[in-house]
């Protein structure tokens, strides 16, 4: 099973709201990723977690707050977003082999976020 699930599928929020995106995988992967994708653009890396610890933050604004509560779950907490943050948010996961990333990343279907 190479499935990464994401909820919700769609989310509409105002600029003052607080919401969370959720991602889950049961492949035993120990690396998990958040990406942002705008229309007709490739995914842009936001965060990388390895062994439940944040290892890469690609200078993402603090209104995006990631959390990895356990090896299967990844959350992205959203607060005070701007309309330009509207995008498809993708979660991905991959194996870690003795701390090294195996670069086959499996993506979830994404959450389509609209900020009004």
Per-residue x/- mask for other proteins, residues 92 to 111, rule CB under 8 A?
--x-----xx-xxxxxxxx-
Is 66 a binding residue for other proteins by CB under 8 A? The answer is no
Is 31 a binding residue for other proteins by CB under 8 A? The answer is yes
How far apart are alpha carbons 3 and 17 in whole angstroms?
30
Is 1 a binding residue for other proteins by CB under 8 A? The answer is no
Nearer of residues 18 and 26 to other proteins, judged by Cβ: 26
Burial class (CB in 10 A: 0-12, 13-18, 19+), 49: buried
Which residues are bridge partners to 48 per DSSP? 33, 56
Residues near other proteins (CB under 8 A) are 4, 6, 31, 33, 40-43, 45, 48, 50, 55-56, 88, 90, 94, 100-101, 103-110, 112
């Amino acid at each position: 099973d190479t499935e990464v699930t994401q909820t919700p599928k769609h989310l509409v929020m105002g600029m003052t709201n607080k919401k969370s995106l959720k991602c889950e995988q049961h492949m035993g992967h120990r690396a998990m990723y958040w990406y942002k994708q705008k229309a007709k653009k490739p995914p842009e890396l936001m965060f990388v977690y390895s062994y439940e610890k944040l290892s890469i933050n690609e200078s993402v604004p603090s209104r995006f707050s990631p959390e990895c509560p356990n090896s299967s779950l990844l959350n992205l907490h959203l607060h005070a977003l701007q309309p330009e943050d509207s995008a498809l948010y993708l979660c991905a996961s991959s194996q870690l082999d003795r701390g090294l990333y195996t670069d086959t990343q499996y993506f979830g279907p994404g959450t389509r976020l609209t900020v009004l």
